[in-house]
């Protein structure tokens, strides 16, 4: 083969086609990797510890709740894992103890779809602990087929909003006594599509699992946060909510994705890991810089403005009053106060 033939092979032959394609492929892979890193968001890296602080995390046997409980346990907190499934919670508890060396991690049953279970959990906790420093309202369900809780509420409204509404109020005095203390509410950017249906709050007339009931419950989280922050002004208790991002957890099991095979995995490639998804709520729970900040909505650790329908005071007031009636809040508070006088439980 002549020198001229070699030159043609290198510059005009197959390599002339393969090298640009390889360059383009590398550029695409780099772009996708950088995009994925951007979507993962920032991590909370301040080293502050919370030794001896008492923390409740709901729905933490898996996903971002488990990642949150793990990190808070690593920083020295006494963790109460409030989960519906006691068996799975116990497995997660033992894993957290093994990974952190923190023996003060407890398994407690809490079914947010049952107001009786919420009351029982609160009564037991108040009998066990004299303080509560951080309450993380993490548990939730998404886009489920229409189903009612044991108390007759549409389950996404019941679990995502009403259960946590009752739980927080039952523990409010303990939070005040422990001030400075914090409430962290896990909401979602899907609140943007939500509207509080005053004439059909329970989705009896019409039901849409994702853009309807779920989005309404996430909007309720934001309105609850803002109203509670207003009520707690000056008490030393702060309350903030956050959007964790699109995270690879069991929460999305009812979502149907277009396409199959490779497309499905390509979509999930850009989702956050549970550890990345937990970072914003960890900042809200831990960051000393946020000790005086309340009533905010955060995403990727940044405070963002909310839409007008999420900051409407009249809607927030109506939802609070309606939620009080639905969960029987006044009666629950009185009953809880009477029961905690006589209940004494020793932590394992």
- Rounded CA-CA distance 136/185 in Å is 6
| Residue whose entry in the numeric block shows the structure tokens 């009520």 | 231
Cis ω for the linkage preceding 247 (within 30 of 0): no
Query: Which CA distances in Å does 66 have to 38, 138, 194, 274?
Result: 23, 10, 27, 8
> Are 33 and 26 in contact, with CB atoms under 8 Å apart?
no
Question: 39: buried, middle or exposed (CB in 10 Å: 19+, 13-18, 0-12)?
Answer: middle
Active site residues: 214
Spell out a b/e string for 137-174, using b for 16 or more CB atoms within 10 Å of the CB, else e: bbbbbbbbeeeebebebbbbbbbbbbbbbbbbbbbbeb
The neighbour count for residue 88, using CB atoms within 10 Å, is 14
> Are 183 and 135 in contact, with CB atoms under 8 Å apart?
yes
């Amino acid at each position: 083969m002549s020198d001229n033939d070699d030159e043609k092979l290198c510059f005009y032959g197959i390599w002339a086609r393969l090298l640009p394609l390889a360059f383009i492929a590398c550029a695409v892979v780099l772009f996708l990797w950088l995009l994925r890193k951007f979507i993962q968001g920032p991590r909370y890296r301040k080293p502050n510890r919370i030794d001896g602080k008492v923390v409740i995390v709901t729905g933490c046997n898996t996903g971002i709740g488990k990642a949150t409980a793990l990190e808070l346990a690593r920083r020295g907190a006494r963790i109460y894992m409030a989960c519906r499934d006691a068996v799975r919670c116990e497995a997660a508890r033992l894993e957290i103890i093994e990974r952190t060396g923190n023996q003060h991690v407890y398994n407690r049953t809490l079914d947010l779809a049952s107001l009786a279970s919420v009351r029982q959990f609160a009564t037991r906790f108040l009998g066990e602990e004299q303080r509560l420093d951080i309450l993380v309202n993490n548990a939730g369900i998404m886009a489920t087929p229409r189903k009612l809780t044991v108390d007759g509420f549409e389950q996404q409204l019941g679990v995502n909003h009403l259960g946590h509404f009752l739980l927080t109020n039952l523990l409010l005095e303990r939070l005040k006594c422990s001030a400075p203390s914090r409430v962290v509410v896990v909401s979602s950017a899907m609140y943007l599509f939500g509207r509080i249906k005053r004439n059909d709050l329970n989705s009896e007339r019409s039901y849409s699992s994702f853009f309807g009931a779920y989005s309404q419950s996430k909007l309720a989280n934001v309105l609850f946060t803002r109203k509670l922050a207003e009520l707690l002004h000056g008490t030393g208790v702060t309350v903030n909510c956050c959007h964790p991002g699109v995270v690879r957890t069991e929460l999305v099991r009812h979502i149907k994705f277009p396409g199959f095979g490779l497309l499905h995995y390509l979509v999930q490639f850009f989702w956050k890991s549970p550890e990345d998804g937990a970072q914003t709520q960890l900042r809200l729970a831990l960051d000393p810089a946020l000790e005086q900040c309340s009533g905010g909505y955060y995403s990727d650790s940044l405070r963002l403005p909310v839409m007008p329908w999420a900051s409407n005071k009249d809607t927030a007031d109506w939802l609070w009053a309606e939620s009080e009636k639905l969960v029987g809040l006044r009666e629950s508070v009185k009953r809880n106060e009477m029961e905690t006088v006589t209940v004494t439980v020793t932590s394992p």
